[in-house]
Structure 1
Amino acid sequence: MLKEPYRPKINLPKSTTEKIADIIGIAALLFAVIFIALNWTTLPAQVPMHFNGVGEIDRWGSKYEILILPIIGIALFFMLQILEKKPHLHNYPARLNESNVEQFYKASKKVLNYTKNICCLIFAYITYEIVIIAQQKKLLLDSSTLIVLLVLLFSIIIFGIVKMMKIK
């Protein structure tokens, strides 16, 4: 019979930086929704919905498809918010024990929080770019901001993994 891993339920309040990150993530999603609403009447019937590796449009879709981005962002935010509140469900190495459980939980929650909120920023940024490109008839996505956000996302994940590797 397999032994259940050590996973106590601990209530850990959010840190100030996690609260600030949540405010930024929520604000980004609200911006995306409001930006779409304010620009809805000026959007053409067809908007760019996919870009290739160099930022060129390779698929057009109905302007209603642009609503998918904030919907996915909002759903992702709430799902990860629930998971963030349950750090005992996250995946940990076998060395998790009574003396280090709080460190592991805090590190895991922080990585999940920052990941969640950077994803919100990414969805808001892509929404913004699609609206601007559709209205101005540009044919190229400015990918530099997106690259910065993706580098930040992966840096946080790598930083979190390294931090957890250092926990004894």
Structure 2
Amino acid sequence: MYSNRPRLKIPLETLDIILEFITLTILVVLWCYAIMEYTSMPDIIPTHFNSKGEVDGTGSKGTIWLLMAITTVITIGLHILTKYPHIHNYMVDITEENAAHNYKMSCRLLRFVNLFTLLLMSFIAYSVISSAMGEKAASGNTFMIIMIAFTIVMPIVLIVYVIKNQKAATSKK
């Protein structure tokens, strides 16, 4: 299926470098925050919040490492996936002529998805840690705004990607 696709190394452009840098920085800062706050956290911490932002599930403070591990695996996994654009799914047949453009766009889309997913996971980790430390967790309205924003922003990024690809395809005809 993918064996006939060209395997190209797509050079990073400035936007790609910025996205990668921001993503890495957020991940490192999140880990530093979790490590610094861990010893101060109580033995039981929130593990789930309802739609109002109220704690409705708890667990041992070690569960914060599970959240951090999941966040890290997702972030690194999406980063690694950008290195293999020839295995991504595309709406067009990949040829020698269109491979570079499609690969670049697919990798950039993944970088945006990676950043937005990390931001969401960071918000969740921050909410868990700050709530565990006795600080008021974000209100239900904040949770709802974050979730709505996430469900709006991700499709917008995808739509922009599709439109750019369609424009590129029609301009080459």
Task: Give the alignment's TM-score, normalised by structure 1.
Answer: 0.85
Cα distance in 2 between the residues matched to 1:162 and 1:53 = 34
Cα distance in 2 between the residues matched to 1:86 and 1:145 = 31
Would the aligned equivalents of 1:115 and 1:157 in 2 still touch at CA under 8 Å?
no
Q: 1:161 to 1:94 in 2, by over 3 A?
A: closer
Match of 2:7 in 1: 9
Gaps of 5+ in 2: none
- Structure 1 stretches of 4+ with a deviation exceeding 6 A read none
Q: 1:49 to 1:4 in 2, by over 3 A?
A: closer
What percentage of aligned pairs have identical amino acids? 28
Cα distance in 2 between the residues matched to 1:22 and 1:164 = 22
The superposition leaves residues 123-150 of structure 1 with CA deviations (integer Å, 9 ceiling, x where unpaired) of: 2221111111111253645313454345
Match of 1:152 in 2: 153
Would the aligned equivalents of 1:77 and 1:120 in 2 still touch at CA under 8 Å?
yes
Alignment of 1:1-168 (within 5 A): 6-136=4-134, 138=136, 140=139, 142-143=142-143, 144-168=145-169
- Number of aligned residue pairs: give it: 166
The superposition leaves residues 49-91 of structure 1 with CA deviations (integer Å, 9 ceiling, x where unpaired) of: 1122232222111111011222112212222222101111001
Q: CA deviation at 1:4?
A: 6.5
Would the aligned equivalents of 1:104 and 1:167 in 2 still touch at CA under 8 Å?
no
> What is the one-letter code of the residue matched to 1:73?
T
Cα distance in 2 between the residues matched to 1:51 and 1:120 = 18
Helix, strand or coil: the match of 2:62? helix
Would the aligned equivalents of 1:7 and 1:88 in 2 still touch at CA under 8 Å?
yes
Cα distance in 2 between the residues matched to 1:118 and 1:162 = 20
Cα distance in 2 between the residues matched to 1:154 and 1:62 = 35
Task: Give the alignment's TM-score, normalised by structure 2.
Answer: 0.83
Structure 1, 76-85 or 108-117: larger mean CA deviation: 76-85
Gaps of 5+ in 1: none
